[in-house]
Amino acid sequence: MADPSPAVRRLADWDTDRLESLADEYDTPLYVIDLDRVKANYRRFSAAFPDARVMYAAKAHTGRAVLEAVLEAGGTIECAAWGELKRSIDAGAGPNTLQYTAVNPPAHDLDYATDLGAENPGLTVTIGATDTLERLAERGYDGRIAIRINPGIGTGHHEKVATGADAKFGIPYEEVPEVAERVRAEFDLVGLHAHAGSGVLTDGLAEHCRAISRVGEMARRVGDLEFVDVGGGYGVPYREDEPPLDLERTAEMVRDAVGEIDAQLKLEPGRYVVADAGLILSTVNTIKEAPDTTVVGIDASLATLIRPAMFGSYHPMVNVTAPERDHHPVTVGGPVCTSADVFAHDRPVARLERGDTLAIGMAGSYGYELASQFHSQPRPAEVALEAGEDRIVRRRESLEDVTRVEQ
């Protein structure tokens, strides 16, 4: 049966009355994650690649409820750190199904992965440096290895996520065949991996697929592989006038770019699965008329959502309390003492008054993951929506939580 859910869930599609009641019941700032939408997004993406193995990239949102939803939808999980491995297992993932992509891994990461692999030989470790091979061998690991390729082509919504052209990530392209021989002599070489960048929409697919084609080419050179993993990076439209990713066209272009390979295709969507499933609710506390703008102060900050400060990212906004009011351009900022703590400049929003609830959309991916206690602010609570019900899945931190680890 066809998936009835829309290709993208806009902020305007959320029930504002329900959001207002959530803000009243659970206080703000508040993260809201719709688990039904998470499952629908994962299934839609998987349906576009019926012959591939689709692994959710945990780093987009590692909340246990989200990981459990992905597993319920039939997914497996790709992890980039030891904490993600543990959280995935705690959520019910079989350790033998996990893939750990090591990027300059600290010692404790490799210790944990080595111990896990000793008891679960199906665990796959992806390496992006020959140093990692040496460090794994020192720990007695001789199991499944995938080689991360640096294709020399970066794509995505911002230079800070264009990993395919960043020397930090992966083995230089022409060195891969030699490294593959070394891996086969000491480990079990099972795959090749690459990730070109993040937040790719339909108009960026051509360059994205140019990077993927290099992975397919290298797979044919290396030969005898179990899988070829072309990573994730598939985006969602944050702006209201941007069209959603054309999944059918994406699947066709990716398959054509990879070409004929005698191996299973793997993909790692993260943002696509969770971005439009999450938002932030915040309360307006200050209205200030300045010479060039109206400043709206809210109780969310860059400690709540750092993407606008870090990437200059656009996040849609809706006045949940009174969406029917006339729209006026405002500058929306938080309580952190830096000019970077601004969510929008001159953004038309239904007129805001002190005490109103403001929703900030497309916050499901890299939102709570990048939240911090900057300014000694406790991190917010998170509420999950599922099957018409809501529940707390992450409690609000207290001031005591902020200082609990100090001594």
Among candidate residues 205, 238, 273, the one where a domain is terminated: 273
Q: Are residues 322 and 253 in the same domain?
A: no
- Per-residue pLDDT at 2 exceeds 60: no
- Per-residue pLDDT at 103 exceeds 90: no
Is 335 annotated to bind ligand? no
Q: Give the pLDDT confidence of 158-214 residue by residue, as tens digits.
A: 344 344 455 676 899 999 999 999 999 999 999 999 987 767 887 778 888 888 899
Query: 94 phi and psi, to 5 degrees?
Result: -75, 125
Please report which helix (H) or strand (E) contains residue 330, including its range: strand 327-333
Q: Are residues 133 and 226 in the same domain?
A: yes
Q: What CATH code is carried by the domain that includes residue 327?
A: 2.40.37.10
The pLDDT of residue 199 is 74
CA dist 82 and 89 (Å) reads: 11
- Per-residue pLDDT at 134 exceeds 80: yes
Is 191 a domain residue?
A: yes
Is 271 annotated to bind ligand? yes
Residue 167 · residue 129 · CB < 8 Å: no
Q: Give the pLDDT confidence of 12-29 residue by residue, as tens digits.
A: 999 999 999 999 999 999
The pLDDT of residue 375 is 95
Is 334 annotated to bind ligand? no
Is 18 a domain residue?
A: no
Is 11 a domain residue?
A: no
Residues 6 or more apart whose Cβ sits within 8 Å of residue 54: 42, 45, 46, 75, 76, 266, 267, 268, 269
Q: Are residues 289 and 175 in the same domain?
A: no
Q: Give the pLDDT confidence of 68-92 residue by residue, as tens digits.
A: 999 999 999 999 999 999 999 999 9
Residues 6 or more apart whose Cβ sits within 8 Å of residue 332: 296, 298, 317, 342, 343, 344, 347, 349, 358
The single residue of 1, 185, 337, 405 carrying the catalytic annotation is: 337
Q: How many residues does the chain have?
A: 407
Is 268 annotated to bind ligand? yes
Is 100 annotated to bind ligand? no
Number of domains in the chain: 2
Q: Are residues 245 and 298 in the same domain?
A: no
| Average pLDDT for the chain | 93
Is 1 a domain residue?
A: no
Is 53 annotated to bind ligand? no
Give Dmax over CA atoms of the chain in angstroms. Answer: 69
Domain that holds residue 221: 35-273
Is 191 annotated to bind ligand? no
- The verdict on whether 79 is a catalytic residue reads no
Residue 109 · residue 126 · CB < 8 Å: no
Is 10 a domain residue?
A: no
Please report which helix (H) or strand (E) contains residue 81, including its range: none
Among candidate residues 257, 273, 289, the one where a domain is terminated: 273
The two structure tokens encoding residue 184: 């086969």
